[in-house]
A = this chain, B = another copy of it.
Amino acid sequence: MSAIKELREYFEEIMRLNYIQAALGWDQEVNMQNYKSLEGRSKQVSLIEKLVHKRLTSEKVGKLINEAEKLSNLNEIESAMLREITREYNLATKLPEELVVEIAETSILAAKIWREARAKSDFSIFQNILEKNIELQKEKARRLETHPDMYSTLIDLYEPGATYDWITNVFNPIKPKLIDFVKRLNASSDKPDDSILKKNYDADTQFELSREILKKLDFDFDHGRQDKSTHPVTTSLASLDTRITTRTTEPFPDCITSTIHECGHALYDMGIKEELHDTILCEGTSMGIHESQSRMWENLVARSKEFWIYWYPIFQKYFPQNLKDYPMEKFYKAINIVQPSYIRVNADEVTYGLHIILRFELEKDLIDGKIQVKELPELWNSKFEDLLGIIPPNDAQGVLQDIHWSMGYIGYFPTYFLGNLYGAQIYNHALKNHPSLPEEYKKGEYSTLLGYLKENIHQYGKIYRAPELIRKITGEDLNPDYFIKYIQNKFPPIYGI
């Protein structure tokens, strides 16, 4: 057997262990929220982590990589496979097993402590374990050293090839534009009224409705599930088992939009071509591209007027007391309100980027040691005021709102906003090629868009890296102007300016 085929086979077992890990994670998220002890699960997770690490770092892999590099007849898939295997091998061999296990075990414990701290809105409960998490991530970055600065090394784990400088160059010109744009909209005397969203919407009915939408969006219930959890997530437990979760506790229609968001992630995973199943390429190519899919469905599709032309009458039937006599136009404006708010996951399309820039800047300084964990609540609030003009009333609605840092995910946040930017650029291209898309939404049809995304993005999994993929699709590098143009076209009419 050739070295590349041997590698492929060897990595199938690693992928399966990763899927098992995902199954344990999904179960913990969906089924163990009330558990008093997570010790058993934590030890199972770290065992799998250890087994994966052991396999990744085996001498056999190094030897096979060397042999495979000498092969001259690799096809496109095999080359990409070799590239990703080499990356994983290099990352893993630089990390000692004890560090990998410590990171895994600490993150489970920290997530538990974070939940308690957030419930009590008391950062001091979380501070110690977060300090440990930050130290562990710095230790990881120092050992990996894929970039000269530690933060770029961490970013690269989620967005291969991206660096702090590159992202800064993308974000910096947008930052003042966003701040100004939010102010301009909010200076309007004809702002949308969102009181309709604050009425009572029965949780079970919301869930039922979200399910109906999932079916229309072609979420594959034969190889996937929708469940409830406090934090919506998408998890693939096998190449043909992708599950999303929905929450029904937040202001309407968050249940619906966040379900569509997770569906966007799921459709990506579900659309990867069979040839790549169970291989290292059977994943989204980066967190940014993944998020471009979720955000595209959530915002560019499901917050468009055409989407609601089909769905609003159905929503009226589900919630007649609230919506029967309420005009669609006003509802459409209400769900597109742009307004500084505290919680990232509830933020609108325009202010969302500012929430990310805040975290991006704090993370950089944390990793560089320019700021200390204990200063975070204060720094969070003052930066929040600079960017959004308001100050969170407490830590639960401020620095404690996200699970990411508790999980040890540092460098992950910027990919969310990159997702918005990639999404706008890709969607612009999709519209150029299929100008009829909005007309189809009016009929509740999404197959042209899904077909376009499958053909251009989903099927390829990890074959092309994000920068290559965006050039391949749109013919240019990531260009944030598409996003700026999109919001500048969409929102002024909503605000009557």
Contacts and interface: CB of A to CB of B under 8 A. Distances in A.
A51 B48 contact: no
Contact of A40 (B34, B43, B222, B241): B241
A239 interface: yes
A44 to B, nearest CB: 5
Nearest to A32: B241
A23 B27 contact: yes
Which 6 pairs between the two chains have the least Cβ-Cβ distance? A40-B238, A36-B222, A37-B240, A16-B47, A20-B44, A16-B44
A31 B243 CA distance: 10
A217 to B, nearest CB: 18
Interface in A13-37: 13, 16-17, 19-20, 23-24, 27, 31-32, 34-37
Interface in A213-260: 221-223, 225, 237-241
Contact of A41 (B27, B36, B238): B238
A240 B24 CA distance: 15
Number of copies of chain A assembled together: 2
Contacts of A385: none
A386 interface: no
A34 B31 CA distance: 19
A39 interface: yes
21 contacts: A13-B47, A16-B43, A16-B47, A20-B20, A20-B24, A20-B47, A23-B23, A23-B27, A23-B44, A31-B225, A34-B221, A35-B241, A37-B223, A37-B240, A37-B241, A39-B240, A40-B238, A40-B240, A40-B278, A41-B237, A41-B238
Find the residue from A37, A238, A278 having the highest chain B CB count within 10 A.
A238
Nearest to A19: B44
Nearest to A222: B36
Nearest to A12: B43
Nearest to A225: B31
Contacts of A47: 13, 16-17, 20
A329 B47 CA distance: 55
Contacts of A240: 37, 39-40
Given A37-B222, A39-B238, A39-B240, 12 more contacts: A16-B43, A19-B40, A20-B44, A23-B27, A27-B237, A31-B225, A34-B221, A36-B223, A37-B240, A41-B237, A41-B241, A43-B278
Interface residues of A, number: 32
A16 B24 CA distance: 12
A223 B20 CA distance: 21
Contacts of A44: 16, 19-20, 23, 238
A34 B225 CA distance: 9
A146 B145 CA distance: 56
Contacts of A27: 23, 27, 237
Nearest to A239: B40
Contacts of A225: 31
A39 B240 CA distance: 8
A43 B20 CA distance: 10
Contacts of A17: 47
A222 B23 contact: no
Interface string A119-144: 00000000000000000000000000
Contacts of A24: 20, 23
Contacts of A278: 40, 43
Nearest to A40: B238
A39 B241 CA distance: 10
A23 B35 CA distance: 15
A365 to B, nearest CB: 39
Contacts of A223: 35-37
A44 B48 CA distance: 12
A13 B49 CA distance: 13
B35 A222 contact: yes
Contacts of A41: 237-238, 241
Nearest to A50: B13
A237 B37 CA distance: 12
Given A34-B222, A35-B241, A223-B35, A20 B48 contact: yes
A418 to B, nearest CB: 30
A48 B44 CA distance: 12
Contacts of A37: 222-223, 240-241
Contacts of A39: 238, 240
Nearest to A236: B40
A211 to B, nearest CB: 13
A124 to B, nearest CB: 26
